[in-house]
């Protein structure tokens, strides 16, 4: 049986069990698209995925774990892992998705003031993440576990930690869909955390975020992968006038995966700042795909990504800046810098600009290089051993991204993670 037939059966089973109000909006179109197109395996004309080898994805036949069987021991293990991030259930607002009863009224999440479940008529599912944009998003839509909520001013200045659980129960497919509507004049932090798994998993989380006028969202994304994880992570953001969106991603690569972000700047005077660091090792393949669509005038966007690649790993950065004819006075920048730690590591970095307005300022640049020999010599000439000096240089390289994370707990957590990653990198 082909993988499409396998997932088709899964989709049909879901439909039977659970035909709901999201169906017409995203689920049905996602199902149709996936059954027809499958995963984006084609090389030709497929700029986003053609550099990755998706054969393992295409030979997969995962099933979702049975909803009712996702039990609370998973909940406990997630809390334990969270404690290592300094996040605890007493002080912090935690939403665990993937566990049984992950919805907002469930026992795992005490609905704090300023957050509430979206009514079915007001959910934004499928409006920002187009189910027909990509085979992964389509499959997510077709069999999604949906969490849909809004955040308003009463939650301002606070952080919501969204943690993806349900990974401790064996091999599985996970298709979480989180839809978040941030109300006008609301300033919040969302920390999205994916722990690595001990089992073979295909994770396709999709976040859809709507920022109303003058809303401000700091979104910190932590993706920790193991050699068993396949993790294709999507974030789709829609910005109204005067809103601010910041995304800082820390990715320690799964065996194969992606950090795929698209921001639609629809309201004038809005701003987005997208940054990230990715570490890849062994034979990992990791794709960072960032698109900013400037549809309105006077908007500002920044893309700044860094990669540290070792062993025989491969990373792809494809960054796109699209400026619509009406989006005058756009200011957009893009930068992707890569450190290759070994001869076998490979980076494909491809900036792309598509500009239809005439009064804009856009800048882009990309580099790939080995550890700076003269810097290494300088440090060693002070008595610091080569390995330590190299680690300090890589650390310094990564810190430019890590230091900019405003959430103290997440910054410390990924900083400690980096300390653990550094000695495992091969410096050859």
Q: Work out the angle at residue 217's Cα, subtended by the Cα atoms of residues 353 and 288, and round it to the nearest 5 degrees.
A: 40
CB of 397 to another protein, least distance (A): 6
- To another protein, the closest distance from the beta carbon of 117 in angstroms equals 43
Using the minimum distance from each CB to another protein, give the nearer residue, 395 or 412: 395
| Contact residues for 35 (Cβ-Cβ < 8 A; gap 6+) | 4, 7, 8, 11
28-37 helix and 135-142 helix, angle to the nearest 10 degrees = 130
Closest CB to another protein among 23 and 377? 377
Q: DSSP readout, 116-173?
A: EEPPGGG--TTTSS-TTS-HHHHHHHHT-EEEEEEE-GGGTT-EEEEEE---SSSSEE
Q: How far is CA 347 from CA 249, 285, 423, in A?
A: 18, 10, 21
**Minimum CB distance to another protein smaller for 353 or for 392:** 392
- The CB-of-114 to another protein minimum distance in angstroms stands at 37
Cα 245 to Cα 242, 305, 351, 401: the distances in Å are 10, 16, 21, 16
CB of residue 400 vs another protein: minimum separation in angstroms?
6
Paired tokens of 68: 């009712």
In angstroms, what is the minimal distance from the CB of 421 to another protein? Answer: 15
- Here's the x/- map for another protein, 322-361, by CB under 8 A: it reads as ----------------------------------------
C-alpha separations of 418 from 147, 252, 279, 344, 409 in Å: 31, 9, 9, 22, 14
Applying the rule CB under 8 A, the residues between 369 and 428 that interact with another protein are 372-375, 377-386, 388-389, 392-393, 395-400, 403
Give the per-residue contact string, 185-224, with another protein (x = CB under 8 A; - = no): ----------------------------------------
Instruction: Provide, rounded to whole angstroms, the least separation between the CB of residue 401 and another protein.
Output: 10
Shortest separation between residue 277's beta carbon and another protein, angstroms: 11
> What is the smallest separation between the CB atom of 312 and another protein, expressed in angstroms?
26
Comparison of 195 and 397: residue with beta carbon closer to another protein: 397
Binding to another protein by residue 366, rule CB under 8 A?
no
User: Residue 358 has which token pair?
Assistant: 């005439």
Nearer to another protein, 120 or 369 (CB): 369
Could you give the 3-state DSSP secondary structure of residue 349? Answer: strand
CB-nearer residue toward another protein: 68 or 373:
373
φ/ψ (deg, to 5) at 216? -135, 125
Q: Give the number of residues in contact with another protein, rule: CB under 8 A.
A: 25
What is the closest distance, in whole angstroms, from the C-beta atom of residue 229 to another protein in the complex?
Answer: 28
Instruction: Name the residue nearer to another protein (CB basis): 379 or 405.
Output: 379
User: Are 28 and 21 spatial neighbours (Cβ–Cβ below 8 Å)?
Assistant: no
Q: Where do the DSSP E strands lie in 38-106?
A: 93-97
Q: Which of 41/393 has CB closer to another protein?
A: 393
Nearer to another protein, 357 or 393 (CB): 393
Q: Contact at 8 Å (CB) between 310 and 342?
A: yes
- The whole-angstrom separation of Cα 145 and Cα 103 is 9
Residues at the interface with another protein (CB under 8 A):
372-375, 377-386, 388-389, 392-393, 395-400, 403
């Amino acid at each position: 049986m082909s993988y499409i037939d396998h997932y088709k059966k899964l989709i049909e089973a879901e439909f039977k069990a659970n035909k709901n109000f999201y169906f017409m909006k995203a689920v049905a179109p996602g199902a149709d698209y996936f059954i027809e197109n499958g995963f984006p395996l084609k090389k030709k004309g497929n700029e986003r995925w053609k550099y990755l080898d998706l054969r393992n994805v295409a030979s997969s036949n995962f099933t979702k774990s049975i909803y009712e069987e996702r039990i609370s021991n998973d909940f406990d293990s997630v809390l334990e892992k969270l404690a290592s991030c300094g996040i605890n259930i007493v002080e912090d607002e935690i939403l665990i998705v993937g566990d049984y009863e992950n919805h907002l009224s469930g026992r795992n999440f005490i609905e704090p003031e300023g957050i509430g479940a979206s009514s079915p008529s007001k959910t934004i599912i499928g409006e920002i993440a187009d189910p027909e944009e990509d085979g992964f998003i389509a499959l997510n839509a077709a069999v999604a576990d949906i969490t849909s909520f809004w955040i308003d001013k009463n939650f301002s200045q606070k952080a919501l930690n969204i943690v993806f659980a349900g990974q401790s129960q064996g091999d599985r497919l996970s298709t979480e869909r989180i839809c978040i509507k941030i109300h006008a004049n609301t300033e919040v932090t969302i920390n999205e955390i994916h722990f690595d798994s001990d089992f073979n998993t295909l994770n396709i989380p999709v976040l859809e975020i709507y920022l109303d006028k003058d809303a401000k969202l700091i979104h910190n994304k932590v993706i920790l992968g193991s050699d068993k994880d396949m993790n294709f992570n999507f974030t789709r953001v829609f910005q109204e006038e005067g809103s601010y969106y910041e995304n800082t991603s820390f990715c320690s690569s799964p065996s194969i995966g992606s950090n795929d972000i698209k921001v639609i700047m629809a309201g004038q005077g809005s701003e987005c700042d997208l940054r990230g660091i990715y570490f890849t090792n062994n034979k990992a393949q990791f794709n960072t795909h960032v698109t900013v669509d400037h549809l309105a005038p006077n908007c500002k966007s920044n893309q700044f990504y860094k990669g540290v690649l070792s062993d025989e790993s491969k990373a792809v950065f494809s960054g796109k800046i699209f400026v619509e004819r009406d989006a005058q006075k756009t200011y957009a920048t893009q930068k992707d810098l890569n450190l290759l730690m070994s001869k076998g590591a490979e980076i494909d970095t491809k900036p792309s600009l598509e500009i239809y307005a005439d009064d804009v300022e856009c800048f882009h640049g990309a580099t790939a290089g080995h550890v700076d020999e003269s810097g290494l010599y300088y440090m060693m000439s002070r008595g610091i051993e080569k390995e330590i000096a190299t680690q300090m240089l890589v650390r310094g390289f990564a810190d430019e991204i890590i230091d900019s994370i405003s959430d103290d707990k997440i910054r410390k957590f990924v900083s400690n993670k980096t300390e653990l990653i550094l000695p495992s990198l091969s410096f050859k």
